[in-house]
């Protein structure tokens, strides 16, 4: 995750070029080290955040051809559905399908009003749900179909011809949906979409969530290629990671990085008030805690250790069927703790990633849950 927990301490117009350059620098370094650079979407906070698909289109030709680009997440309610579809399809075509579109409601605070949404419409997830429903219909629309009309609280349109370009991947680009609420998890499984499965700190909930998701995915009777893609891209979010030569050194570096991160947040809060207090933090099925970011809730569960220690945490996720991790390394790239971030990236790349290079993704539910019963077996078939 590029500039993972950035807050706009330096927010004058003359700072924008420097911050954009830092975001590009980290993106290219991540790609060269074998990571897939992921970008967030925020508005009025960080110059590269505000148009992440355009930023990704600039990065795409500068990185190795086997590296993917991703988003965590695009805020669906902030876009006219047709313009969103055009942008997603265009990037999917230009990258030959190497873009992963994490989608959801996104950030709250001052952003929804600035983008024309009421806090209730945005915060209830209704805006994102409406957008997903419309996107599905637009991806399926073909010339000659009856006109398709849509209307949301903010946008409307009538489609008489297909949206162009079409996606490179069929039937749509690779998407990962947020699934904090059970209805979202059910819908993702029924539609054959990978999910963001949560953040580190509640392993038992993760096990239950993935068990439920896999059962629902199997019951939906998707083609095997759809199931395989879902299991490849279901994503777990490591919010705060430090890798060092020893556990003791990693813990010390994590403390140093946390101190600077909290100092940046305090400075930003003094400048901007509550508008910079970040995303609601939530683990498990409970309600999000909007104030947790301000107090450093993303660092309540830090993964800090030598490569062996960190690799053991990776293995725990593999064992429950998580095959894709969104890693947010600690150390402020625009600050004095940037070397902590870079050192972690390099050690993870050279000492942790190679251990899992040839490990096939778990795709058989019984590898995780021996008590699993397939839908066919439940019906007495096979």
State the CB neighbour count (10 A cutoff) for residue 248.
12
Rounded-to-5 percentages of helix, strand, coil across the chain: 45, 15, 40
Between 125 and 282, the higher pLDDT residue = 125
Q: Is 151 exposed, middle or buried (0-12, 13-18, 19+ CB in 10 A)?
A: exposed
Assess contact for 216 and 186: CB atoms under 8 A: yes
Is the pLDDT assigned to residue 141 strictly greater than 80?
yes
Give this prediction's pTM: 0.90
Give residues with Cβ within 8 angstroms of 160, minimum separation 6.
147
pLDDT in tens, 241-253: 999 999 999 999 9
Q: Which pLDDT score, from 0 to 100, does residue 273 have? A: 75
Whole-number Cα distances in Å, 302 to 106, 283, 351, 356: 23, 14, 19, 21
The pLDDT of residue 167 is above 70: yes
Res 123 pLDDT > 90: no
Which domains does the chain carry? Answer: 13-378 (3.20.20.30)
DSSP code, position 202: -
Confidence of residue 181 (pLDDT cuts 50, 70, 90): confident
Q: Is the pLDDT of residue 283 over 70?
A: no
User: To the nearest whole percent, how much of the chain has pLDDT over 90?
Assistant: 71
- Average pLDDT (275-287) is 50
Q: Which residue has the higher pLDDT, 223 or 292?
A: 223
Helix (H, G, I), strand (E, B) or coil at 8: coil
């Amino acid at each position: 995750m590029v500039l993972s927990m950035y807050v706009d301490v330096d927010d004058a117009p003359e700072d924008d070029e420097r911050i954009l350059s830092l975001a590009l620098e980290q993106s290219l370094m991540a790609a060269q080290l074998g990571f897939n650079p992921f970008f967030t979407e925020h508005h009025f906070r960080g110059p590269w955040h505000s148009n992440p698909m355009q930023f990704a289109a600039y990065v795409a030709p500068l990185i190795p051809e086997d590296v993917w680009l991703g988003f965590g997440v695009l805020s669906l309610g902030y876009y006219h559905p047709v313009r969103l579809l055009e942008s997603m399809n265009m990037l999917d075509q230009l990258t030959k399908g190497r873009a992963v579109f994490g989608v959801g409601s996104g950030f709250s605070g001052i952003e929804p009003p600035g983008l024309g949404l009421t806090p209730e419409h945005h915060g209830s997830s209704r805006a994102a749900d409406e957008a997903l429903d419309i996107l599905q219909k637009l991806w399926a629309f073909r010339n000659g179909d009856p006109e398709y009309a849509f209307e949301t609280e903010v946008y409307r349109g009538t489609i008489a011809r297909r949206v162009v370009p079409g996606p490179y991947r069929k039937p749509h680009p690779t998407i990962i949906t947020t699934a904090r609420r059970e209805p979202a998890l059910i819908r993702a499984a029924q539609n054959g979409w990978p999910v963001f499965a949560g953040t580190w700190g509640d392993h038992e909930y993760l096990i239950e969530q993935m068990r439920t998701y896999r059962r629902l995915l199997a019951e939906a009777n998707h083609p095997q290629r759809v199931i395989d893609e879902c299991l490849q891209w279901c994503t777990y979010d490591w919010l705060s990671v430090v890798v060092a030569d020893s556990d003791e050194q990693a813990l010390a570096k994590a403390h140093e990085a946390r101190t600077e991160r909290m100092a940046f947040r305090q400075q930003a809060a003094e400048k901007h008030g509550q508008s910079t207090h970040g995303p609601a933090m939530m683990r498990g099925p409970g309600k999000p805690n909007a104030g947790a970011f301000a107090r450093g809730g993303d660092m309540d569960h830090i993964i800090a250790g030598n490569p062996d220690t960190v690799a053991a945490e990776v293995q725990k996720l593999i064992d429950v069927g998580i095959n894709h991790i969104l890693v947010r390394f600690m150390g402020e790239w625009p600050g004095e703790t940037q070397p902590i971030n870079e050192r972690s990236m390099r050690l993870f790349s050279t000492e942790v990633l190679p251990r899992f290079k040839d490990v096939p993704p778990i795709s058989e539910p019984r590898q995780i849950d021996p008590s699993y019963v397939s839908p066919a077996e439940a019906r007495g078939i096979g």
